[in-house]
Structure 1
Amino acid sequence: MPQPDQVSAPQPRLEIRDIRRSFGGRDVVDGVSLRVMPGQVTCLLGPSGCGKSTTLRIIAGVDMQDAGEIYVDGQLVCDTIHRVPPEGRSIGLMFQDFALFPHLSVLQNVAFGLTGRKGEKRGKVLELLKKVDLARAIDSFPHELSGGEQQRVALARALAPKPSIMLMDEPFSGLDERLKDEIRDTTLDVLKAEGTAVLLVTHEPDEAMRMADEIALMRDGRIVQQGAPYNIYNAPVDKRAAMFFSDINVIKGTVQGALVSTPFGEFLAPGYGDGTPVDIVVRPQHLRIDFDRAGRGPNPTAQDGVPARGIVERARFMGRESLVEFRMDYDGSILTATVPSVFLPKVGTPLWLMLRRERCFVFASEPL
């Protein structure tokens, strides 16, 4: 029996190493590396133009990298010399426009990449359509289906050749909001049941958080942070990463003796030298209105921090929560808090605010 240190690590279904691609002298993909295991969903998340779709096209084989290597199940499929053609990579593709053939039936669309006799193909297609709850539409045409149904046909077609890897480029962006959750869940269930490694490109943080086992956050052609959704959200690498997932409030300060003095009290800033300008970042849901102390003034000795006063500038009910903006007494800046349910104080109302200190981040100040 092999010793623990002799047991080899699980082999990734997809691995890319130091992929680079330039256009017109600009680095569009700049040293991207990642691994996707069987049955794992990894999201390449980032704003438009960050290089995520180019990375996907390189993996699919429809574009060629300038440097780097791509492996499928441990086998090299592409470097700058050796290149397996797209059809030989066992990779399925799904795009936002579905790309169904309008003149072909659902049966013919799904069977397009299959080999074998006509009867065998129909049986395979019917099995796939049952997985996406569309067996009834096997003889229909795309124009007879809803957007969500067309998306499920595209999924069945992509799964028909039994790819070991599925690449998905903004596949749900063309759907109505009410359909997205249902179709995403169906897609995820089918792909995981097949043990397919999934690399999903999206610019929507909510979609990445809902679907991904791991998120790779891209910016300017690079992966700036990678990890489980919980870790990415709760331990952002910098202010821009925090902003990508939600609105933020920023309180500025300067480090002295590893501490930052603010109107909300002192914050630890280990690793920053004296005189370093920093931003204290807190999300609106972690800015607390101190109702117990409202109108009675601050209590600097309170163990839970120092309150600071703000004047209500605007209050709006957003459905599940209320959004309240305050102009702060200490410097006139605007801070935003979210409050569960309905809370609509009048404009001009003074209230005391406190921070959930354990949910604050300290970053060196940088322009956005």
Structure 2
Amino acid sequence: MTAAPRLEIDQITRHFDGRDVVAGVSLSVTPGQVTCLLGPSGCGKSTTLRIVAGVDRQTTGRILVDGVVVSDDGRHAPPEHRGIGLMFQDFALFPHLSVAHNVAFGLDGGLRRHEARVRELLERVDLGGFFDAFPHQLSGGEQQRVALVRALAPRPAIMLMDEPFSGLDNRLRDEIRDRTLALLKEENTAVLLVTHEPDEAMRMADEIALMRAGRIVQQGAPYHVYNTPVDRAAAGFFSDINVLRGTSRGALTDTPFGQFLTPGLSDGAPVEIVIRPQHLRIDFDRQGRGPNPTASDGVAARGVVQRARFMGRESLVEFRMDHDGSSLKATVPAVFLPKPGTPLWLTLRRDRCFVFPA
């Protein structure tokens, strides 16, 4: 059976300064589920989070916690009465309090009454030896873990996280994200996480809600959102993309790689065909020879190398296509640095392409 939603956001809008910062946003989060609000800066993610927390109020719509309305047109429960934990990127630890007193700060009765809970949480994030330490004695990653267990100490039904890892360096960020996710899952907490980083959302989320201009434009499992983007902008938000432009004629569009089916588009309609660089392959077996139209790996076109760069784990090669002079990029594992001016054949599979009306 599907668990009942712990958090429900029902058609909320937030009108501010003559515009809708949030426009008709709805989603639900069940116990143990991590949902990421993903999108560029200014799209309404953090405003949505503040409305759920109770520090801001929606213009219309409802917020429900465990099926109980905590905010609508007629009522607005304050943040401390919602059973919601908050975690932000600045950690906000009290510098004059020890680690233990920071963790116990939100607990009724404080450290004296809840020392066992505080010690348990610190042990679970490998900070048992820092019970009496002060925040300035901890690294950034250790401070982040203290902030996490402080938010979890009262056993909130819901955890709201606003860009909580943005202040950490890349290596530390991966480790802390994994620790955080494991602890949240153990506590069976419903998590709503705000981020502008697709990699973070893909790594942590059970469900991604992609936001743009105050609205959720696509929602689903990370695999679904990545592999079936709703439009070109959605595809481009998760990775670099190549765009083949053409015009639909008789439900077909000509490209450097031959014709693509474009059903449902009228004659003369502009078309954009999107392919990610990792799905555009260099055909090393076809160098110096013409393409094989029956090749099992897809359709082919020739381009001339403009530039090649090694990116650490892969090489990025930029081409100018013979067919129409368009520019395309391909990624190749490891080191591959052909000289500018080198002609090479590229192949793609049509089932790895996304076709959108322009």
Shift of 1:300: 3.7
Tell me whether 1:28 sits opposite 2:21 in the alignment: yes
Shift of 1:148: 0.3
Aligned to 2:12: 19
Aligned to 2:79: 86
Shift of 1:298: 2.9
Q: 2 CA distance for matches of 1:274 and 1:203? A: 38
Shift of 1:301: 4.8
Shift of 1:302: 4.1
Deviations 1:205-261 (A, max 9, x none): 000000000000000000000000000000000000000000000011111222222
Tell me whether 1:284 sits opposite 2:277 in the alignment: yes
Tell me whether 1:363 sits opposite 2:356 in the alignment: yes
Tell me whether 1:43 sits opposite 2:30 in the alignment: no
**Equivalences for residues 1-368 of structure 1 within 5 A:** 10-116=3-109, 118-302=111-295, 304-365=297-358
Deviations 1:25-73 (A, max 9, x none): 1110000000001000000000000000000000000000000000001
Shift of 1:120: 2.6
Deviations 1:272-304 (A, max 9, x none): 222211101000001111111111123345455
In structure 1, what residue type is equivalent to 2:292? N
2:14, 2:20 within 8 Å by CA — same for their partners in 1?
yes
Deviations 1:173-226 (A, max 9, x none): 001111011100110001000000000000000000000000000000000000
Name the Cα RMSD after superposition: 1.3
Aligned residues: 358
* SS class of match (1:35): strand
1:107, 1:125 within 8 Å by CA — same for their partners in 2?
yes
How does the TM-score come out when normalised to structure 2? 0.97
In structure 2, what residue type is equivalent to 1:259? L
* SS class of match (1:307): strand
Call closer, same or farther: CA 1:64–1:117 in 2, change over 3 Å. Answer: closer
* SS class of match (2:332): strand
Q: 2 CA distance for matches of 1:63 and 1:96? A: 19
Q: 1 CA distance for matches of 2:124 and 2:71? A: 33
* SS class of match (1:119): helix
1:126, 1:138 within 8 Å by CA — same for their partners in 2?
yes
In structure 1, what residue type is equivalent to 2:157? S
Call closer, same or farther: CA 1:118–1:335 in 2, change over 3 Å. Answer: closer
1:265, 1:305 within 8 Å by CA — same for their partners in 2?
no
* SS class of match (2:48): helix
Q: 1 CA distance for matches of 2:341 and 2:173? A: 40
Identity rate, percent: 74
In structure 1, what residue type is equivalent to 2:44? G
* SS class of match (2:268): coil
* SS class of match (2:149): helix
2:210, 2:218 within 8 Å by CA — same for their partners in 1?
yes
* SS class of match (1:122): helix
Q: 2 CA distance for matches of 1:102 and 1:177? A: 25
Deviates more, 1:259-268 or 1:165-174: 259-268
2:299, 2:349 within 8 Å by CA — same for their partners in 1?
no
Q: 2 CA distance for matches of 1:333 and 1:117? A: 65
Q: 1 CA distance for matches of 2:22 and 2:264? A: 31
Deviations 1:135-176 (A, max 9, x none): 110100000000000000000110111100000000000011
1:264, 1:305 within 8 Å by CA — same for their partners in 2?
no
Q: 1 CA distance for matches of 2:299 and 2:71? A: 58
* SS class of match (2:306): strand
* Structure 2: runs of 5+ lacking an equivalent: none
How does the TM-score come out when normalised to structure 1? 0.95
